[in-house]
Amino acid sequence: MFPKELFKIFSYIIFKNLAPIFRAKNDMIVSVKHRTSGGFGFHKLLIYTTSTNVSIVLRRTFKYRLYPTKDQVQILTHCLTTCRYLYNEMLEDHKNAYDRCGVGLNYNEQAGQLKYLNLGIYSQVAQDVLRRLDKAFQNFFRRVKNGENKAGYPRFQGNNRYDSFTYPQTGVKTKDGKLHLSKIGAIRIFQHREIVGKVKTCTIKQEGNQWYVCFSVELLDSEKKEINTSVGVDVGITTLVTLSDGTEIENPKTLDKYDSKIRKAHRNLSQKKKGSSNRNKQKIVLTGIYRKVRNARKDYLHKVSRILADAYDRIIFEDLQIKNMVKNHHLARSIHDASWSMLISLTTYKAEEAGGTVELVNPRNTSKQCSVCGCIQSMPLSQRTYRCPDCGAVVGRDHNAAINILNKHVPADCGELTPVEKGCMSNRYESGSPATCSGEEVTSP
């Protein structure tokens, strides 16, 4: 115990004395850790620092479609099934160790068992399965510590829940239109774009009867550019996006377009006998329809986020609590279909790559407050036009909210920022693009 206690005191002294020095040099101490070397209790002090002058490393994912043969599909399915069995067996060991002995297991303790198992899969793939399980328990204990109502104890994975496995370091390479996987073979890949950055992990994922590969890469953050244009963005259901310069981007309502096909597929599924091959075939059909909905929605949001990232240097959204908003069951389906969180996420990484920035502001009273005089009034959802009782301003509800979002982050009297002229985005793109002008103006007597 003495070396460990001495290390804690030494770490505290080092942190207190070195922190001002690093801050003075525009550096920041990220963490101070100790590591035991061998069995002698010798502790190493590891101080991780990062400089504000060094470019930040970003993680990006490149996803490609795989076209395996029938034999390769069987091998991939066997590997996926083996990983699922391994996950469930190790989870059972976790439960038994705690129920019978009152102790918990970690990754290092369970990884030692892998050398005694003849799994028939790549060793690092099996190790990644244990890392997933260990991460699941860490998240569970974190939620318990934070006092969350639903802690979410790790559950056993059924055949329809465990759908991917990962090569964390080696065992993967692409050559001549083929993806070479250790213990599996060469699979044809449709690589529609080049991989940019350093590949860190490779994940094989099954979606219905289709297979994909996801490469997680590291990229250096681009240099921040000078902020010349800024825009406030109000997300909604009637119109997906309304900008502070008056531009509106329509909501495609993707789920409504496929609603009849989804209902028919569900009816056909309910008529099939459970456990039959026809029911399994119908499940694949239903999965394919949902995949089309998901891809169509994501494609549209990618285009919208690209328009915003190219046109503006600073993009300001509301910091919405969407989990609370979907408790309204009259609007939950439409809110999920609009996918506001995905739009903000896609816009954020595209803006970062372009040297811009995305900011979030408090959404309080953005729809109720007049963007001209600041008067606050009640605004039910059915009222789509804002009419100020004080100054007489008349403006669209969403346009007024977008202006307030912009003003919350950028003061109205700030002379450094010049808003993009209304309609400039729609002129940059051909007809048929998501961007259209609303034609509404803020009027006041």
Write down the pLDDT at residue 18: 45
Question: 214: Cβ–Cβ under 8 A, 6 or more apart, which residues?
Answer: 61, 62, 63, 202, 203, 205
User: What single-letter DSSP state applies at residue 116?
Assistant: G
CA 365 to CA 304: how far, in whole Å? 26
- Give the DSSP H/E element, type plus range, for residue 251: none
User: Residue 120: left if φ>0, alpha if ψ -120 to 50, beta else—which one?
Assistant: left
- Nearest 5°: the CA angle 387, 392, 397 is 25
Give the per-residue pLDDT at 411. Answer: 52
Q: How far apart are CA 95 and CA 85, in angstroms?
A: 15
Taking the C-alpha atoms of residue 375 and residue 377, their distance in angstroms, rounded to an integer, is: 7
- Are the CB atoms for 114 and 189 separated by under 8 Å? no
Determine contact, residues 11/34, Cβ cutoff 8 Å.
yes
How far CA 172 is from CA of 59, 86, 124, 140, 229, in Å, comes to: 19, 22, 11, 32, 43
Q: Which two tokens stand for residue 298?
A: 């994501």
Whether the Cβ atoms of residue 65 and residue 75 lie closer than 8 Å to each other: no
Q: pTM for the complete prediction?
A: 0.74
Distance CA 357, CA 347 (A): 9
153 secondary structure, DSSP code: -
What residues pair up with 158 in beta bridges, in sequence order? none
Residues 6+ apart with CB under 8 A from 420: 229, 231, 245, 311, 312
The predicted pLDDT at position 317 comes to 94
The structural domains of the chain, with segments of one domain joined by +, span: 2-54, 61-220, 230-437
Q: Which of 366, 349, 352, 348 is nearest to 409 (CA)?
A: 366
SS3 63: strand
Give the list of residues 6+ apart from residue 178 with CB closer than 8 angstroms, or none. Answer: 186, 187, 188, 189
Q: Residue 6 is encoded by which pair of tokens?
A: 């001495």
For residue 163, which of 85, 81, 91 has the smallest C-alpha distance? Answer: 81
The pLDDT of residue 102? 87
Residue 439 CB burial class (10 angstroms; 0-12, 13-18, ≥19): exposed
| Spatial distance between the Cα atoms of 109 and 417, rounded to a whole number of angstroms | 57
Amino acid 434: pLDDT: 52
Return the SS3 of 100.
helix
What are 21's two structure tokens? 């020095």
> Could you list the pLDDT tens digit for every one of the 445 residues in the chain?
445 555 455 554 444 444 444 433 344 333 333 333 333 333 333 433 344 444 567 888 999 999 999 999 999 999 999 999 999 999 999 999 999 988 888 899 899 899 888 899 999 999 999 999 999 999 999 999 998 888 889 999 998 889 999 999 889 999 999 999 999 999 999 999 999 889 999 999 999 889 999 999 998 877 788 888 999 999 999 999 999 998 999 999 999 999 999 999 999 999 999 989 999 999 999 999 999 999 999 999 999 999 999 999 999 999 999 999 999 899 999 999 999 999 999 999 899 888 889 999 999 988 888 888 888 888 888 888 888 888 888 888 899 999 999 988 765 444 444 444 434 444 443 444 454 444 444 444 4
If you ran DSSP here, which 8-state letter would residue 430 be given?
Answer: -
Q: Give whole-number Cα distances, 241 to 199, 327, 436, in Å.
A: 34, 22, 10
- Spatial contact of 437 and 423, defined as CB atoms under 8 Å apart: yes
Q: Determine what percent of the chain falls in helix, strand and coil, rounding each to the nearest 5.
A: 40, 25, 35
C-alpha count within 13 angstroms, C-beta hemisphere, residue 275: 0
